[in-house]
Amino acid sequence: MNALAGEGYEVEFRPDEDCVRMSGALRLGGLAEYAPISAMLEEALQGRERLVLDLTGLEFLNSSGIATLSRFVISARNHAQCGLVIRGSNEIAWQGKSLNNLKRLMPSLELRFD
């Protein structure tokens, strides 16, 4: 398992479960600070047929984080061999508002709200 963690957040890549889980509150200062997370997400896409991005524990994401997720979704769209599932939570207000935009970037994205 690979993991990145900082104050208030954690990102874990579980290759055996084809899953990346992001949790806590992510408000890093700009795309450059998100680069290690982007690299982990990119790595997770390689050589997989399906990847689940589990955001059910991600309480807060700033706009640089939203841009990072969008870049990743665009990259997944361009790697047509890997299907992408994003799991969100109805309990977390930003997700109901902002995750649907990702479907506009990648129509084949499977968005699931628990």
Partner 1 sequence: MAEEYGEFRALRYDRETESLNLSFWPGSVPLQQRWRNNGLSADFLGDYVTTFFPLEDDNPAARARQNEIRGAVAFIANELLENAMKFHDGRLPEPITVHLNLQPERILLQQSNGVSAEAAEDFRAFVQRLRDNDPGELYIQQLEESALSEGSAGVGYLTMINDYQAELAWRFDALPDPGFRVTTQVMIRI
| Binding stretches for partner 1 (CB under 8 A) | 7-8, 25, 27, 29-32, 60, 62-64, 66-67, 70-71, 74-75, 91-94, 97-98, 101, 104-105
User: Token pair 């995750």 is at which residue?
Assistant: 99
User: Token pair 């992408």 is at which residue?
Assistant: 84
Q: Which is nearer to partner 1, 3 or 74 (CB)?
A: 74
Q: In the complex, what is the shortest distance from the CB of residue 52 to partner 1, in angstroms, rounded to a whole number? A: 21
Q: In the complex, what is the shortest distance from the CB of residue 39 to partner 1, in angstroms, rounded to a whole number? A: 14
Q: How far apart are the first and last CA of the chain?
A: 24
Closest CA to 22 of 78, 50, 75, 62: 62
Q: In the complex, what is the shortest distance from the CB of residue 104 to partner 1, in angstroms, rounded to a whole number? A: 6
Q: Which is nearer to partner 1, 14 or 62 (CB)?
A: 62
User: Token pair 């628990």 is at which residue?
Assistant: 114
CA distance linking residue 78 with residue 87, whole number of Å:
20
Q: Which is nearer to partner 1, 2 or 101 (CB)?
A: 101
Give the CA angle between residues 18, 28, 10 to the nearest 5°: 35
Q: In the complex, what is the shortest distance from the CB of residue 19 to partner 1, in angstroms, rounded to a whole number? A: 23
Q: Which is nearer to partner 1, 8 or 15 (CB)?
A: 8
DSSP conformational letter for 42: H
